[in-house]
Chain A
Amino acid sequence: MYEQLNYLSISTLLFLISVVGICLNQRNILIMLMSLEMMFLAVSFNLIFSSILLDDIVGQIFSLLILTVAAAESSIGLAILVIYYRIRNTITVELLTLMSG
């Protein structure tokens, strides 16, 4: 059957990669949003696999919910991005330092 460790490690790895993607990326805000989507993906991946493994439907329901939330979130995020681009004419992450302490 499924070797659960592998699937878990795949999803964790995916999550960590996307974390690193957010952290290390200094240039492009689009990549950050994509990494965010990858994190959602990793989480839903994990939920689906565990629901199959535990033979429980709740994990799949959660992943469906996460799917919708992620879609909504990314649309809102893109909308903010567009507005921001309209104001600043750039989407570089490094220059987003207006709110420094």
Chain B
Amino acid sequence: MYITVIILPLIGSLISGFGGRLLGYYGASIFSTVCVILSFFMSIFIFYEVGFCNTVCNISLVPWFTVGTLSVNWSFLFDSVTAVMLIVVTSISTLVHFYSISYMQSDPHYPRFMAYLEIFTFFMLVLVTADNVVQMFLGWEGVGLASYLLINFWFTRLAANQSAIKALIVNRVGDFGLSVGIFSIFYLFNSVDYATIFSLAPFFQNYHFVCFGFSVNSLTLIGLFLFIGAVGKSAQLGLHTWLPDAMEGPTPVSALIHAATMVTAGVFLMIRFSPLIEYSTTVLSTLLIFGSLTTFFAAMAGVFQNDLKRVIAYSTCSQLGYMIFSCGLSCYNVSMFHLTNHAFFKALLFLSAGSVIHALSDEQDMRKMGSLATFLPVTYSLMFIGSLALAGFPFLAGFYSKDFILELAQVSTNSNLNNKLTALACWLGSFSVFLTAFYSIRLLYLTFLNSPNMSRIHLSKLQESDFPILLPLVLLSIGSIFVGYLTKDFFIGLGTIFWKSSIFILPYHSNFIEAEFLSVKSKWLPFLLSMFGALLASFTNIVTLKLGYNFKFYTFFTFLINKKWYWDSIYNKIVIYPILLFGYNVTFKNLDRGFIELLGPYGLASWIPSWAVNIRRLQTGQLTHYIFFMILGFCLFAFLPFCLSNVVTFTFPVIFYLVLVFFI
């Protein structure tokens, strides 16, 4: 059963991919969906057995390769973290499959789509179940590949191609960091198995890598390299630019990849490596800084976006920042909790957005929507639930995880720890709560509540989506409402034994108990901020504000943020364009076509004939010239041994100049 969970999506993918012609629309949809549904039910059993019955399962199948001390096995580890991830991945994947049955109905390449979704699920399962770093890397790269295929699903569109390439390459930057991290792990521990690494990590606290005279703590270095991987995959600040562009794929793809599963791989990596990065304060601070900055930046950028999917994409980016910064606070279980809740309400938001877009004949611009609440009441109510859960409305999913993260951040601020970084993270995180509520409610207003802005034709054709689209939404909304409350106690309950050894928190990093004894004011703060954000969003949308819009500063500011703080332009100007120019001018034109070619084929081909012409000119046909050269040659042969025996250093220039004179 344990292996079947992983294998089923692969089988489904291969059959619906290669046999798509035979299966057709109904065959492909039934077959692929049944595969993931089975996988989902099995992962519920695994969750029960591993999470509740304390039977951590490690299955070692066959050796993959063995070279010297490096031995990698095909082996799978099912512990609590894996079990939770399995539930998240398979449930979201199942619902997305079901959703795609109707959403992608009229697409001519439907079996291919299903095959890609399945192969994505398979690689994600490989990623979360691996028990060594190499196998995890297989899943990591496979997920990247699947995301490329899925974003590029409509491969005739230029924008889709560009986004897919961007996603793959930006991810590859992170993957490079991750692979360097894996190399240094093997260098340090002589093993790639999790069990070995994590049990040895405490003994390498004071071990240093020395490179170019710099001495770096080995665990810090490994942690930072792994974090670079997580930055790429989880779209943290710096490598986040691919995530909003990845919205070019079909909406179910956005829900599956960029909301629930693929982007959580980076967070999962940090959680999985908790026994290692716990020993490095530097890595934890880095996680904190990057996470909180990402949260703030993405929430800020989300406020001024006009594309329905882009807003949700930025909110994903922002929530991932929360997860990473919760890891930086050494609260990996809270991070995992937020990951789970976020998967539900973000998939709900994306799929509802897909429903809206579907109803509006693929119109994504929020400025051309409005008043959809009258026409799509079910979608409206579901998206309302999703937005409230995202904004952290009390007793919905987001409330339990996100507010707890902020409380934990405040603990470190208020106590005698006096940690400035945590204070920064706390401030940024709290302000992001406000922004999150603002853009969620703004999205609701622009899409559903304001007066209509779409064309009459679109309006006349508006209708609620059919059953396969609405059922996953309903299920996800139930999840968004109840999952936080139901699972709170065994995810982040005080003294929960759910995680067992899968998550490790150093005793002096743990501040759960302090979080329970915060002052009531700071516990109310996130809620008040989000309410304020919601009210402000309502206010700006209900009351037409005339005075502010013509301010120079205001327009500049909104423009700046709407252009995502010009990150993309800056990257293009500073990094990408110079590298491309370098590639064309230096490596291609000067080196490949210039220098090497001059030394190589082109140069030889042009020099040899010119020399040959010179040599040919020596044969004038005049007898006297021939005789002269004969005598000259004889004299040289008679004279050279004399030179060689006397002045050796003198000889070479003589010969050289003679040859030169001869050829010129």
Tell me the A residues contacting B by CB distance below 8 Å: 19, 22-26, 32, 93-94, 96-101
Please, how many angstroms separate the alpha-carbon atoms of A100 and B622 in the complex? 8
Please, how many angstroms separate the alpha-carbon atoms of A99 and B622 in the complex? 9
Q: Which residues of A contact B631 (CB under 8 A)?
A: 19, 23
Please, how many angstroms separate the alpha-carbon atoms of A22 and B617 in the complex? 21
Interface size class of B (residues with CB under 8 A): 10 to 19
B635 to chain A, nearest CB (A): 11
B272 to chain A, nearest CB (A): 78
Most buried by B among A25, A93, A101: A101
B661 beta carbon closer than 8 Å to chain A: no
Q: What residue of chain A has the Cβ atom nearest to residue B615's Cβ?
A: A101
Consensus secondary structure, chain B interface? helix
Q: What residue of chain A has the Cβ atom nearest to residue B622's Cβ?
A: A97
8 A–B contacts, CB within 8 A, in A order: A93-B622, A93-B623, A96-B622, A96-B623, A99-B619, A100-B619, A101-B617, A101-B619
Q: What residue of chain B has the Cβ atom nearest to residue A97's Cβ?
A: B621
A54 to chain B, nearest CB (A): 24
B616 beta carbon closer than 8 Å to chain A: yes
Q: Which residues of B contact A100 (CB under 8 A)?
A: 619-621
Most buried by A among B615, B617, B623: B623
**8 A Cβ contacts from B616-648 to A:** 616-624, 627-628, 631
Please, how many angstroms separate the alpha-carbon atoms of A19 and B616 in the complex? 25
Q: What residue of chain A has the Cβ atom nearest to residue B616's Cβ?
A: A101
Q: What residue of chain A has the Cβ atom nearest to residue B618's Cβ?
A: A101
Q: Which residues of B contact A19 (CB under 8 A)?
A: 627, 631
Please, how many angstroms separate the alpha-carbon atoms of A24 and B616 in the complex? 23
Q: Are B620 and A97 in contact (CB under 8 A)?
A: yes
9 closest A-B pairs by beta carbon, nearest first, are: A101-B619, A100-B621, A97-B621, A101-B616, A99-B621, A22-B627, A100-B620, A23-B627, A93-B623
Q: Are A94 and B617 in contact (CB under 8 A)?
A: no
Q: Which residues of B contact A24 (CB under 8 A)?
A: 624
Please, how many angstroms separate the alpha-carbon atoms of A25 and B617 in the complex? 21
Please, how many angstroms separate the alpha-carbon atoms of A100 and B621 in the complex? 4
Q: Are B621 and A98 in contact (CB under 8 A)?
A: yes
Q: Which residues of A contact B618 (CB under 8 A)?
A: 101
Please, how many angstroms separate the alpha-carbon atoms of A99 and B623 in the complex? 10
Please, how many angstroms separate the alpha-carbon atoms of A19 and B624 in the complex? 10
Q: Are B624 and A93 in contact (CB under 8 A)?
A: yes
Q: Are A96 and B621 in contact (CB under 8 A)?
A: yes
B16 to chain A, nearest CB (A): 74
A101 to chain B, nearest CB (A): 3
Q: Which residues of A contact B620 (CB under 8 A)?
A: 97, 100-101
Known: A19-B627, A97-B622. 18 other contacts (CB 8 A): A19-B631, A23-B627, A23-B631, A24-B624, A25-B624, A32-B623, A93-B622, A93-B623, A96-B621, A96-B622, A97-B621, A98-B621, A99-B621, A100-B621, A101-B617, A101-B619, A101-B620, A101-B621
Q: What residue of chain B has the Cβ atom nearest to residue A101's Cβ?
A: B619
Q: What residue of chain A has the Cβ atom nearest to residue B617's Cβ?
A: A101
B637 to chain A, nearest CB (A): 16
Please, how many angstroms separate the alpha-carbon atoms of A25 and B628 in the complex? 12
**8 A Cβ contacts from B239-253 to A:** none
Please, how many angstroms separate the alpha-carbon atoms of A94 and B627 in the complex? 13
Q: Which residues of A contact B627 (CB under 8 A)?
A: 19, 22-23
A28 to chain B, nearest CB (A): 12
A15 to chain B, nearest CB (A): 11
Task: Choose from B615, B619, B622, B628 the contact partner of A94 (Cβ within 8 Å).
Answer: B622
Please, how many angstroms separate the alpha-carbon atoms of A31 and B628 in the complex? 16
Q: Which residues of B contact A99 (CB under 8 A)?
A: 619, 621
Please, how many angstroms separate the alpha-carbon atoms of A97 and B620 in the complex? 7
B628 to chain A, nearest CB (A): 6
